[in-house]
A and B are shown apart, each in its own frame.
Chain A
Amino acid sequence: MTPFAYRRPPGVEAALGLLAEAPDAAVLAGGTCLLDLMKQGVERPGTVIDLNFAPDLQGIAVTPRGTLRIGAATTLSHVARSSAIAGWPLLHETIVDGLTPQLRNAATVGGNVMQRPRCFYFREPGFACNKREPGAGCAARDGVHFQHALFGGAAASACIAVHPSDLCVALAALDASAEIAGPAGRRTLALSELHRLPGGDATRETNLQPGELLTAVDIPPQDMRGGAYVKGNEGFALASCAALLGLRDGRIDAARIMLGGVAHAPWRAAAAEAALADRQPTPELFATAAAAAVQGAEPDQQTAFRVDLVNAVVAEALERALARAGDRS
């Protein structure tokens, strides 16, 4: 690691002040992403701002309007154990599926949302990487990339790494939003707008501006009950699916299908959702939806097997979501 000054702000305003003072500062929450990248020499902040001593970044509660608000520095194990998430069962499944118990005790909601990709070429400074150094090239394209992007314009993009978070897939399916604080004040951004596709500029995974801090994640009350998260493998997702279904009088009247591990951001399977609209749920219908979910994929010889994996996790997630949806009529 390169040397850094350590700062311990007592709250969000102090943290913002430190970010404004030191443009090369990094914020530290659980450390499960940042410290790893610092050990690899990928992140080299001159100042590390430790967010673990700021009470206003902690906590989980349901607001009077029924929104679940989680402070960005709240650990994932705390969320998973909290009775407050009873109305959002998808969260527990996603958290427990996503990390080892030790990491759940360290990793935070904010850190999980802001985490950086697992691409080994990104994480090894000796390799060419457009994310670390724009224009340097992408060593993954000519190298081992079986776990890289299937969607999001991968063929023409500066970066083919995928967003590795399980939780973000569920948060996007649940229509979560991010509370952000910065020099210009506070703003709210839908989670689906927080993460970005790289296009020609792979340097950032999110639309957070310099000097801004993610302070909380809000999840609205849900119309669709239950939901399921299915991952096709152990560890970081090669393909995963968060699915929510709404049933009324035996027909699907609402559906949300998000894919994980397949793009630079959580990926909405809109064609699969459309295939379910106003239909009676059957295995054949779910197979049609799963096939629709892989439309637009750009596989190559290394990634081709993952198309089948996407198909499989979507079909299974829909079956499980159906079993938990109940009928709202």
Chain B
Amino acid sequence: MNDPTLELTLTVNGAAQTVTLDSRVTLLDALRDHLGLHGTKKGCDHGLCGACTVLIDGERRVSCLMLAETAEGRAVTTIEGIARPDGPLHPLQQAFIDHDAFQCGYCTPGQIMSALGAIAAGDIRTAADIPAALDNICRCGAYDNIKAAIASVLASPALDVAA
């Protein structure tokens, strides 16, 4: 039968949740509209801007071009999942505040998730690596402060994100 409804178990920020979704729902829309996680933003919805970046098994991907069902069985990490459960912001989140690295804030979760994925993958070892590694658009033009924020945490030992 061509029933487009699926029952899926998605593991997001360490928690497994079962949802019933139309097969057309992207991971981005599943996170925002079905799981109440609004931190991941919809920028272009066509994979070009990076605002919807999340980590899939620790690797950064644009969630707007991923069907929710393809994420089944994989660990999804969103911006909501990187701060310590007991309170303090993730060092990179704090660095974005300390370095005034956002204006409207819309690209910010994607910038942070993209940076964390890049650092974990070894794509950013020094500040000089940041421009080539990042590729997230910031329409407000906060790039200089974004780079400064990321550069400031590169020496930090506490960058691992909770899967």
What is the interface of chain A, defined by CB distance below 8 A to chain B? 1, 3-6, 8, 28, 30-32, 35-36, 38-39, 46-48, 50, 52-53, 77, 100-103, 105-106
Contact = CB atoms under 8 A, between A and B. Distances in A.
B152 to A, nearest CB: 21
Contacts of A6: 4, 6, 23, 67, 69
Interface of A, helix, strand, loop or mixed by DSSP = mixed
Contacts of A106: 61-62, 65-66
A32 B22 contact: no
B23 A48 contact: yes
B61 A105 contact: yes
Contact of A100 (B4, B26, B45, B50): B50
A129 B67 CA distance: 28
12 contacts: A3-B23, A3-B24, A35-B67, A36-B46, A47-B2, A77-B121, A100-B135, A101-B134, A102-B62, A102-B114, A105-B61, A106-B61
Nearest to B23: A6
Interface in B42-63: 45-47, 50, 53, 56, 59-62
Interface in B16-41: 22-24, 26
A50 B66 CA distance: 11
Contact of A102 (B2, B6, B53): B53
A4 B59 contact: no
Contacts of B6: 6
B104 interface: no
Interface of B, helix, strand, loop or mixed by DSSP = mixed
B4 A36 contact: no
Contacts of B116: none
Nearest to A5: B2
B86 interface: no
Nearest to A99: B135
A106 B69 CA distance: 14
Interface in B121-136: 121, 123, 133-135
A6 B24 CA distance: 9
B135 A101 contact: yes
B94 interface: no
A220 to B, nearest CB: 30
Most buried by A among B6, B24, B134: B24
A35 B50 contact: no
Contacts of B134: 101
